[in-house]
A and B are shown apart, each in its own frame.
Chain A
Amino acid sequence: MSASARVLDEIRRTRRPMRFLGASGQLGYGIPTQAFEAGLARKPDLIGCDMGSIDIGPTYLGKGEMATAPAATRRDLRKALLGARSIDVPLVIGSAGSAGAAPHLEATLAIIRDIARTEGLHFRLGVLRADMSRDMLRASVRAGAVIGIDDMPALTEQDVTDAAHIVGQMGMGPFRRALAEGVDVLVAGRACDTAIFASLPTMLGFQLGLSVHMAKIIECASLCCVPGGRDSILATLDEDGFELESMAPQRKATPVSVAAHSLYEQADPYTVYEPEGRLDLSGANYTAVDERRCRVTGAAWQDSTNPCVKIEGALRIGERAVLLAGAADPRFIAHQREILPAVAEVVRELVCEDTPEDYTLRFRVYGVDGVRMAAPVGEAQPGEVFIMGECIAPTAERAAEVVRTLKQYLLHHGYPGRLSTAGNLAFPFTPPEVSLGPAYRFNVYHLLHTADPDGLFPLEIEAL
C-alpha cells in the first residue's frame, strides 16, 4: 500500500487530527537536521517542501536552470526522502527545481532517482507537470481568456510563441488526483505552495479555510516564529483550527509572530487568492497555547465561480555582459552623471561604425543610485562608488565587445578638472568584464481562465 493510500485510509477510519511537517521553505538551501529529525519523531502524516518561487526572477525559468547548487539540492532531497520513507508518509515537493518547468522537474527527478538507486529505496513516485501547451495558450489569447496580473500588458500570441518556457501554477486538484492514485513521493512542477499541504486534509473533509491557512504558514517552515528561521515546523490540524510548533526549541510561534506572517510577500494580509477560490483571513484568531505554540482558528474559504490558473513565462532578450569597477576620485564622482553618458556615446560611435546599434547599455552607480528605485537628489557625495555597466546585446560576442570598449574609454576618459590622468577606475580583478550568459525577462505573468484548470497538469506515476 502506498503512503498516501495508507494515510487516507487511517484518517478516514480514526477521524483523528492530522500532523504536517513543513520541512523546508526553499529546498536546496539546507534543511537543519536536528529540527527535521525532531519533526520525524512526532510522526507527521505528510512531509512537505516548497522548492521554488517567482521571486528569483526570470532567468532560471528561461534558462531551465535551478537556483540552488546541485550538491546542496541533493543533500536536502536525500534527507527528505530518507526521512519520509523511514516513517512511510507521503513526501510532497512543489515547484521542483526553482521554477517548475520541464528542465527543472527533470533535473529534480534525476537526483531523486539517483538517490533511490544509491540508497536502495523503492517507492511510487508521482510526477505532476506544469508546462503549458502553446496551442492551448494561443487559442486562449484569441478567446480573451487571458488577463494580465497587476497591470501586466495584454498577452499576445507572439509572446506565447516566443517565451522560452511557460508554466502554470497548479492548485490542489492535481495533487489530490495523485494522492488518490496512491504515491509515496509526489514531485510537482510549478505549484501553489499551499497545495503541497492543503490537498490531503481537504480530501478528508477538513475545512478548506483552515487547511489552506495552515499550508500558507508552514510552507515557509519556521519563518512565522520569533526568531524566524529555516527549521522544520509541525502543524496539527483538527476540525476547528490548527496548532503550530517549531521543531527548533529556540523558535517560538506566538500569536503576533504568526499573525504577522500573513503580511509576508502578500499585497493584502487578509486575502489570499488560490486557483480554486479565496482565503479570507479577516476572521482569523491567534491564541497562545503556551510560550512557543500558537493555535489558529477562524480562516474562511470562498470557492471561486471563475476558476483560473496563474501562468508565468520568460523570454530571452539577449546576452548579458557587465563591467565591474570602482572609483574614489571626488571629481570623477561629482561628474559621473555627465561622464557616463559621454563615454557611452564614445563607445556607441566606435562599436557602431560598421554595425547597427543593436544593444542596450545601462549603468548603476552604487553609493549614489545603484539600489534605490527612487534615490533622493542632493545627498552628500560618497567617498567611493562602485560602477556596474550592463550591456544586453544579440550575441555574447557583441555584449563583450561593448563592455570591453566601455572599460577602456571609461578608464581613460578626460573630463573638466581631471587630475588623475593615469586612469579613472579601480578594478578589483582583471578581466573586469564578465559575460553572464543569456538574459531573460518575464513576458508572461497572467491569469488563464479555463473551465478545467486541473486538466492542464498531467500526472505520471513511476515505480522506483
Chain B
Amino acid sequence: MTGWVRRAVVAFGRFWWNFLIGDTPELFVGTLFVVGAAWLLRHDRAAGLAVVLLLTVVFLLASTFRGRAAADAAPVGEDGRP
C-alpha cells in the first residue's frame, strides 16, 4: 500500500471513529440499544415507541451526567472553566 493511500485510509477510519465513538462511547452503545429495542419490539407499536423514547432520554441524561463529572474533575483554565 502506498504512503498516501494508507494515510487516506487511516484518516477515513479516524474520522468515523471520532464521529461515532470519540469521547462519548456510551452514546454509540446507547444508539445500538435503541435500534435493538426498536427491532425487538417492532410488532408492538405502543411499547416499541415508548421504549425507544425512554432509552434515548436515559442515555442522554446518563452521558450528560458523566460529562459533568469529567468536566468538574478536569483542571480549570484561565477563564475558570474546564
Is the pairing of A and B real? Answer: no
Could you list which residues of chain A lie within 8 angstroms of chain B, going by C-beta atoms?
none
Could you list which residues of chain B lie within 8 angstroms of chain A, going by C-beta atoms?
none
